[in-house]
Amino acid sequence: MARMSLDDKIGQMALAQPAEDLADAIRQGSIGGVLNLVDREATNELQRIAREESPHGIPLLLGRDVIHGFHTILPIPLGQAASWNPDLVRAGSRVAAEEASAAGINWTFAPMIDIARDPRWGRIAESPGEDVFLACALTRAMVEGLQGESLSAPGSIAACAKHFAGYGASESGRDYATTHIPDNELHNVYLPPFKAAVDAGVASLMTSFSDLDGIPATAHAGLLRDVLREQWSFKGIVVSDWESIPQLSIHGLTADDRESAIAAANAGVDLEMASDTYARHLAEAVRSGEVSMAVIDDAVARLLKLKFELGLFEDPYGPAIEDAQASRERALQIAHEAALQSMVLLQNNNDLLPLDTNGIDKLAVIGPLADQPYEQMGTWIFDGDPERSVSALDGLRALLGPDSEIVHLPVLETSRSREFVDLEAALEAARTADATLLFLGEESILSGEAHSRADIDLPGAQVELVQRLRAIGKPLVAVILAGRPLTLSNIVDEVDAILYAWHPGCMGGPAIADLLFGVESPSGKLPVTVPRAVGQIPLYYNARNTGKPPLPHTVVDIDDIPVRAPQTSLGMSAFHLDVAHTPLFAFGHGLSYTRFEYSNLEINTPQVAPGGSVQISVDLHNSGQRSAVEVAQLYVRDPVASITRPARELKGFKRVRVEPGQTVRVQFQLHTDDLKFWMRQHGWLLEPGRFQVWVGGNSEADLAGEFELIAGPNG
C-alpha cells in the first residue's frame, strides 16, 4: 500500500471484462480483477502478466457466475432448496467450486440469497425461496461449500452473497424494478440471510440493482457502512453489480458518472464491475476532497487482503485439479442425489405413482420437455457440459430397458409453441399405453435474470394438450420442469399425479425415472408457496394476520352474488371474490409414497427464560409400506408483540428416514434467540409472553402446543 500511487490503488478497484487491450491494462496496473474468462491457459497468462509485469506484482481476482454447478450442473438453487438438506447443498457447492477452480476461477458471484415471494420474478430460480430460516440454513451451507475450510486450499473459491439487499422484493416481480420494504420487514426478512453469510465467513457481497426507500443499494451508506461494516463487522469486499454504478444517474440519484463514482465509493463499494466510472473519476474526486484517501485505502486493503487469503501471491495460478473420471463420477452422483431430493410430489390421486416396472409394456412419453437435456439444466449454465446432461427420456429408457416400448412424441416443438405436431399419434399412443407421462413446463430461457413473466400459467398450447389427453379417460402423470412455481389451477384437476422437477440439472433424467418408478420415494418439500392464480401474488405462508384474516370457511362464488345486491362486506375478511384465499399448494408441502403421521407433541418445559432452550418432541410414524424420508417442520407464532408478527414462522426442520411401521421420536431445540425480532428504534427484541408451536409435514401443520417465555432478571 505504501508503495502504491493513487492510480495504482484505483486500478485495484476495477473488475474488467475480457477485451483486446486487457493485457496492456494489467501491465499498467489499472485492473484488479477480470470476470467471465474461463480458459485456463488464458487466465494463467493474465496472472503471469499481473505478477511479473505489473508495477507491484499484484495478482488478479478471476470471477465467474457459478450459480448451480460449473461443468456438472445441479438443480437450480430453488430446486436445491426444495431438498431442505443443507449437507447436500454444501456438497453440491463444493463440486462447483472444485470444477471452477480447475478452470482458473478463484471467485464466484454466488450464492444468491434474496428472499423471493413473487414467482413472476425470473430470478426466483436462483433464490432459496420465501422463508428466512430455510434461506439462512442453505446460505451457510453454500458459503461453506464454495470456500471450504480455507480460501487458499485446493478447490476453494471465494463466495459472494448477493444481492444486498431486498432485490427479491422487486415491484410486480419485474427484474430491476423498485422495491418497497419497511424497515421492520427489511431487518426481519430480507437481511438475515446476509447476516448468516457474514457469520459463515463469506468473502464478498454484491450490491443490488434495486433501491431501498429511494436510495439505490449501490450508493446506500446505511446498508453498506452502518449495517454491514459497523453492526455486522464485515471485513470482506463489496462489489457492485454489473454497471450498477453508472446506473445511479439513471435511477435519478446522481447527475452523471462522476457523481455516481463518488456516491458509490463513499457508500462503501470497493470494486466496480464491468463499468469504468472509478477509473475515470475517482482520482480527481480524491484530489478535490470529495472522496477521502482513507476511503480508497480501506477498499484497496480489503481487496489485497482477499487476494492474500486466496493464496494468490504465493500461487496465482492455483492447483491443476484434473477432471479425472473419479471426480466426474462423484460430481454426477451428487448431482443425481440433489435432483432426487429436490423434486416435489405435489399430487398423487389414488396412489397412481409409483409406476410398476413389471407392469409397463408400453409407455407413452408426451410433451415438449421430455427429451431436452439442455433445457432441464436451467438458467445460468454458461459452462455447463451438455454431454453430462441426461434427459428424462433417456433416463426412462435406461431404467426400463429394451423390453419396454417407449413411444415419445413431443407434440409441441417448444414449451411456448401453439401449434401441435403429431397430436393424433400422441392421443393414440396414450390410448394404447400402460401409462402416460406428460412432460410440461417452461424452457430455461423463460426464467432467470431479466426473464420475469406476468402470466405464469403453462405457456403455449400445453394446457390444451393436457385437456385433449384427459378426454381419453386414462390416468395422466404430469412432470413439470420449470424455473419457478407455475400456476397450475387449469390442469390440477385434469391430471392424476404431479411431480414438480424444477430445472433439475444434468442428472434430472435418471432422477425423474427413479422417482416415477419407485426406486426412491419423493422427499422434496416446497420452499415457496404455489398460488392458485397470479392475482393472489404476493402469497406466502408467513404473512401477518391483519385484523380480518381469512377464515377456513371463507368461500364466495362470484356467480352467487345477486345482481344489484346491496353493498355488504362479504365474508368480513381478507380474501378475493373470485379465487380461494388458500394456495394451490402450501409452503413445505410435498407428498411421499408412504403415509406419515405426527402425534404426541411434548414440550419439555411450560416456561423458559431468556438464554434458554425449549425441547419440542413429536412421534413420526410411517404407516405405509415403503421406507421413505420425511422433512419434519417446526413452526412458531408470537401472538402478542410490540409489532404484529407472522401467523407462523419456520424455526426448525429435520430430514428423517422412517421404515415401514416404524415410529421415530423427532426432537427440536428452540433457543430463545430464535424468538427475537427487529423493531425500528429498538433493534432486536426478545419479549416475554406465550408462544404457539406446530409440528408437521408442511406449513399447515395442526399438531399444536405452547410455552411461555418469562421475563429475565432485567425485565
**Residue 416 near residue 444, CB atoms below 8 Å:** no
Q: Which domain holds residue 560?
A: 542-582
Domain match, 612 and 692 both = yes
Domain match, 551 and 610 both = no
In sequence order, what are the residues at sequence separation of 6 or more whose Cβ sits closer than 8 angstroms to the Cβ of residue 680? Answer: 183, 184
**Residue 409 near residue 370, CB atoms below 8 Å:** no
Q: Is 356 exposed, middle or buried (0-12, 13-18, 19+ CB in 10 A)?
A: exposed
Number of domains, the chain: 3
Domain match, 549 and 651 both = no
User: Can you tell me whether residue 544 is helix, strand or coil?
Assistant: strand
Kindly state whether residue 205 falls inside one of the protein's structural domains. Answer: no
- Work out the pLDDT band at 322, boundaries 50, 70, 90: low
Domain ends where: 556, 582, 608? 582
Query: Residue 316: pLDDT above 70?
Result: yes
Domain match, 669 and 622 both = yes
Kindly state whether residue 203 falls inside one of the protein's structural domains. Answer: no
pLDDT of residue 564: 86
Q: Which of 551, 548, 541 is nearest to 580 (CA)?
A: 551
479/713: higher pLDDT: 479
Q: What is the CATH number of the domain that holds 409?
A: 3.40.50.1700
First to last CA, the chain: 50
pLDDT of residue 667: 98
Domain match, 675 and 636 both = yes
- Work out the pLDDT band at 297, boundaries 50, 70, 90: very high
Domain ends where: 500, 516, 532? 516
pLDDT in tens, 195-243: 999 999 999 999 999 999 999 999 999 999 999 999 999 999 999 999 9
**Residue 613 near residue 671, CB atoms below 8 Å:** yes
pLDDT in tens, 574-599: 888 888 889 999 999 999 999 999 99
Domain match, 379 and 496 both = yes
Domain match, 472 and 570 both = no
pLDDT of residue 337: 98
pLDDT in tens, 345-400: 999 999 999 999 998 999 999 999 999 999 999 999 999 988 899 999 999 999 99
In sequence order, what are the residues at sequence separation of 6 or more whose Cβ sits closer than 8 angstroms to the Cβ of residue 546? Answer: 574
Q: What is the CATH number of the domain that holds 677?
A: 2.60.40.10
pLDDT in tens, 537-564: 999 999 999 998 887 767 667 888 888 8
Kindly state whether residue 295 falls inside one of the protein's structural domains. Answer: no
Q: What is the distance of C-alpha 294 from the center of its chain?
A: 37
Q: Across the strands, what pairs with 69?
A: 73
Distance CA 647, CA 36 (A): 44
Kindly state whether residue 404 falls inside one of the protein's structural domains. Answer: yes
State whether the Cα torsion 78-79-80-81 is positive or negative. Answer: positive
Distance CA 703, CA 632 (A): 12
In sequence order, what are the residues at sequence separation of 6 or more whose Cβ sits closer than 8 angstroms to the Cβ of residue 312? Answer: 47, 59, 60, 106
Domain match, 457 and 551 both = no
Q: Is 715 exposed, middle or buried (0-12, 13-18, 19+ CB in 10 A)?
A: exposed
Query: Residue 247: pLDDT above 80?
Result: yes
pLDDT in tens, 250-260: 999 999 999 99
Choosing from 211, 241, 496, 638, the catalytic residue is: 241
Query: Residue 326: pLDDT above 90?
Result: no
Kindly state whether residue 344 falls inside one of the protein's structural domains. Answer: no
Domain match, 679 and 640 both = yes
Kindly state whether residue 132 falls inside one of the protein's structural domains. Answer: no
Domain match, 546 and 611 both = no
Domain match, 363 and 485 both = yes
Kindly state whether residue 8 falls inside one of the protein's structural domains. Answer: no
Kindly state whether residue 587 falls inside one of the protein's structural domains. Answer: no
* Dihedral-angle region of residue 57 (phi above 0 means left; psi in -120 to 50 means alpha; beta otherwise): left
Q: Across the strands, what pairs with 705?
A: 693
Query: Residue 714: pLDDT above 70?
Result: no
Query: Residue 569: pLDDT above 70?
Result: no
241 catalytic residue (yes or no): yes
Mean pLDDT value of segment 6-29: 96
Distance CA 515, CA 525 (A): 14
Average pLDDT of the chain to the nearest whole number: 96
Domain match, 600 and 576 both = no
Residue labelled with grid coordinates 493513487: 6
